[in-house]
A = this chain, B = another copy of it.
Amino acid sequence: MERQTKQRQAILQVIREQGRPLTVDEILNYGRFHVPRLGMTTVYRSVRAMLREGVLLGVQYPGQPTRYEMPAHSDHIHFICNCCGKVHDLPLSQTEISLQLPDGFVAKGQELIVYGFCPECRPGGKAADAGIS
């Protein structure tokens, strides 16, 4: 992203003001409020450029289109239910991650995805029994 255009400003703005991961379609809909003739091609190209610059972060949930968010908003756990496919955002609060990467790798953000069964789908019922199996 080298030039400053109203399209790119709008894209960043809607992602910033929503404060959650948005799909290209969502960016397009919100963005057209600011730039009526905004095209999806532009969104795809801008988003890709912003990813390269680290301004945005891409998040993918199985079976859903890629969503883009500001890196600062990504400090939570993405819990994906193997059964219903829903994605739950869980607090990272009680979870500790001490990251140690090999030389040469620079971390700009991280995401912990946990797979399993959510309360609704759990075979047992609703009793509490969290933890890695």
Chain A residues with CB under 8 Å of chain B are: 51-54, 57-58, 60-63, 66, 71, 77, 79, 82-83, 88, 90-91, 94-119, 122, 126, 128-133
Contacts and interface: CB of A to CB of B under 8 A. Distances in A.
Contacts of A102: 90-91, 130
Closest 9 CB pairs of A and B: A104-B119, A94-B100, A103-B128, A101-B130, A108-B116, A107-B116, A60-B60, A96-B98, A109-B115
Contacts of A117: 54, 105-106, 108
A94 to B, nearest CB: 4
Contacts of A98: 95-96
B100 A95 contact: yes
